Structure 1
Amino acid sequence: MLSKSAFPLLLLNMFLAMLGTGLVIPILPDLLKEFGAGGQAAGYLVSCFGLTQFLFSPIAGNLSDKYGRKPMIVAGLILFALSNLLAAFAGDLSLLFVSRLIGGIGSAALVPSIMAYVADITTDDQRSKAMSWLGASMSSGFIIGPGIGGLLAEFGIKGPFYASACIGLLAMGCSLKMLPESLSKEIRLKRQQSIERRESVFRELALSVKSRYFILLLIVFASTFGLTHFEAIFPLFVVQGYGFTTRDIAILITVCSLIGTFNQVVLTNRITQRFGEKRVISAMLLLSAVSLVFLLLSGNFYYVMFVTMLFFTFNNILRPTINTMLSKEAGEEQGFVAGMNNAYMSLGNIFGPALAGILFDIHIDLPYLFGAFVLLVSSFVSGRRIGRKGRNISMNRDPSA
């Protein structure tokens, strides 16, 4: 009963948050040009978001286990709206960086809490399909977001930021009024009253190396690292390398996201049931690496659209498949493991864009070549190591805490 009422709203929240994020993608080249910045600044803007996301993700995961998923989801949406509002008022890069730091905290509160909520209200058999739909809702934000962002940019470069802030507040209001809490009051009280020595995020990362789900977390980092090599400098790459316009970028991202999401919904559950999650993860990493290299071979608009669509499809299938495996391994530590998942994703968001920006300023092809190399190595590691029985380390945490 709870799943029927809550799950659609969770999908809507994730969709609206990603819609707000997607709105600003087409304007990045013009925005950086206005501030006199280049590829390195673009990389650092994404990296600083990942930095606060990394630092706060485990904390948010623990808080969601103790005080409930709903408060963290609402807080995350408020911070998301605030970050976009600050970006709209930014007159220089410094305030834009502050807005990204706040946005990272909001993501740390929002994403693991929604993932843990889904794990709370689904069985193991239902989870693969639920995570696929959750991934589709994230991708759908990028379908509509860039297209709308490109249109809003015609009325002013800051228009997409104002729209993002309004969307965040709308999602927050819906959650506050209509989203039920997935954890019972008794469970929350028990966890709040438990005596627990909280580890620092760095200590928890060190402990995660010995956990049964470390290889999956490592793949989360590597896949995010490769993805951000694509995302962080893609607008700059197609503008400087192929002469695309803001409208071209909006159309490109919108169409490719639409097809990629459709392919995800249709294919993810079918291929994981047929081939198993391990094979699917390894194959999607390999195909993502190949598509990054192919992106460098031609600047024809339709060719770039086709290759980008393939890249989006492979990544859209990869992410929910990894999340499903992680949730199955997590047991009663759903909130904590979701937080660690977000932390490793944040590490990819820190190092991937920063390095991509540096490499871009050296040569515009280098980010995609290096990103492809990381994904290729990850495919090999996942094929060899996923599924091996690791040590059952519970991160020195009481499962009831």
Structure 2
Amino acid sequence: MWRNVRLRGLFIQVIVIALLLLAGGWIIHNTLNNLESRGITTGFGFLTQQAGFGIIQSLVPYDESHTFARTFVVGLLNTLLVSFLGIILATVLGFFIGIARLSSNWLLARLAGAYIEVFRNIPLLLQILFWYFAVLAVLPSPRQSLALGDSIFINIRGLFVPDITVHQFGLLGLATLSMLIIWQGLRKTALKDHGQLLKGVAALVLMALPWLFWLATDGFVLEKPVLKGFNFTGGIQLLPELCALLLALSIYTAAFIGEVVRSGIESVSKGQTEAAQALGLKDSKILSKVVIPQAMRVIIPPLTNQYLNLAKNSSLATAIGYPDLVNVFAGTTLNQTGQAVEVIAMTMAVYLTMSLLVSVFMNLYNRRMALVER
């Protein structure tokens, strides 16, 4: 039986799985014994206890009377917020840097190369501290705020922008517009006659004009920040901790995305560009219609890694006090409850779930962009 390759392989796999289960059981048993000897109870009952501490930023209603379960939700939403915004900004900036890296303009290409070499070789934590303590901390007070028009203000307390409140009928209008756009997109994939397609686009514009006019007049209310006393009221306040973290994550990750984009573009055969030039296409059209779609097949896999790194690197927010999941839940909540195993396990599960969801989404997008052969 030992000479049978299949049976021998099966036997070794069973032994390995059994050893892993024994090791896991021993770790769990040892942990429970150590917690019991120190008088620490286990379980998730602490989530229903009153938190008793404040959080400087919350996307949901929160005060000291809420439970530790609510602090978990607050930290989770803050982490998702900075990760989502960071991915968008890093992608836009990274694509610009990657394309500029290959520009025929000598100065632009050298500046893009210097950006990549500088920011990707400085530790992310130092960049976060730099933006927070060396840049944002020296901004003026609210009374001497830097103004962009009469609606956007920057000062030591953060970035203040207008808040848009959409009425119920405004939401209905936006939903209708979204359905029309989706419907037109489906028609676009089905239609081959360009004349019919142009007629459909024109019809969509005519149907959308009343909604757009109504939205621009009565569909929403724009609340601008106003200086009252020593601070601004109204609008949306982006804390300096959020701004510093977002800047550092975006700039740092964009340096790596820029190199990914550059390598993806260079992987496309130069014959494709020459053929497009022979057809008389402009350089912008060649880049957007010929080069980038083919380069995306090479760009997407390493781009996924950069998205995962950005989401996980957001945990460095605790260095400047931004109330993300690590700071609020794995920090303050853990110190107050002492439930180290449960708190750390929940925090690890969140980051694992975030990473898996990003991977699934990017894999689906990669499968859609992949070249299908007959």
Q: TM-score range by the shorter chain?
A: under 0.3
Bigger Rg, which one = 2
Per residue, is there more strand in 1 or in 2?
Answer: 2
Please, what TM-score do these two structures have when normalized by structure 1?
0.26
